Amino acid sequence: MANDQTLILASGSPRRVELLAQVGIEPKRLMPMDLDESPRRTEHPRSLAWRLSVEKARAAAAVLKGMDEARGAYLLAADTVVSVGRRILQKPESVSEATAALTLLSGRSHRVYTGICLITPDGSVRQKVVDTKVRFRRLTSHDIESYLASGQWRGKAGGYAIQGIAGSFVVKLVGSYTNVVGLPLTETVALLSGEGFNVHDAWLEG
């Protein structure tokens, strides 16, 4: 049963926790991994999402090694990357960086890649990268200034959170909405189910 199985999430993201709760999954433990997320020279955005997700999963697995709570546990990690072409937009650390990101995204399409990595109880590693195309309407300077004042850009890849005010910026989305939020649910549930994690019992409980 899903609630008899253990999932450890190698992330501290409230958004990922909320998305898992949406499908009846509650991680037993959150383990955010503090890794250098800087892209390597010439690294493609998709490759970066892939690499960081597995590095976070393996880092968490190394910390958990030998601990009782890790026995029989599934370990899930994810990393989301926003890009315009090959240009990667990382989490802005200042208002000026967030302004530059939103200005770049204004009136154009960009891609959101989320790498997901699952380490199963027997140590097998399963990975997938999900890609969503998003187009923003043209943003006015007032749009950008007001959004920055809201603070919703902080800690977000690309400087925005689609589930908040920035949802009003989106004129077209092709692919997974939950991927843009931070965890593609269809692919995550399929990955877990395919490796024997029963996600359905919680649904039957209502």
Rounded average pLDDT per 10-residue block, the chain, 206 residues: 76 95 94 90 95 96 86 94 95 96 98 97 96 98 97 94 97 98 97 93 73
Whole-number Å distance between alpha carbons of 98 and 139: 13
Quick one: pLDDT at residue 206?
Answer: 58
How distant is the alpha carbon of residue 106 from its chain centre?
22
**Residue indicated by tokens 């920035």:** 166
| H runs (alpha helix) in 35-131 | 45-64, 95-105
Whole-number Å distance between alpha carbons of 13 and 183: 10
Quick one: pLDDT at residue 2?
Answer: 42
Whole-number Å distance between alpha carbons of 75 and 123: 10
Instruction: Determine whether 79 is an active site residue.
Output: yes
Whole-number Å distance between alpha carbons of 114 and 117: 10
> Is 186:179 a contact under the CB 8 Å cutoff?
no
Whole-number Å distance between alpha carbons of 183 and 181: 6
Whole-number Å distance between alpha carbons of 75 and 7: 6
Quick one: pLDDT at residue 67?
Answer: 83
Whole-number Å distance between alpha carbons of 11 and 19: 13
- Which of 36, 68, 79, 131 is an active site residue? 79
> DSSP label at 181?
H
Crossing angle of helices 95-105 and 141-150, rounded to 10°? 140
- DSSP, collapsed to helix, strand or coil, labels residue 57 as helix
Quick one: pLDDT at residue 1?
Answer: 39
Quick one: pLDDT at residue 13?
Answer: 92
Which pTM value belongs to this model? 0.93
Structure tokens at 172: 């077209």
Quick one: pLDDT at residue 4?
Answer: 65
> CA 50, 42, 152: angle at the middle one, nearest 5?
60
Q: Beta strands of 31-184 (E only): which ranges?
A: 73-84, 87-89, 109-119, 125-136, 170-174
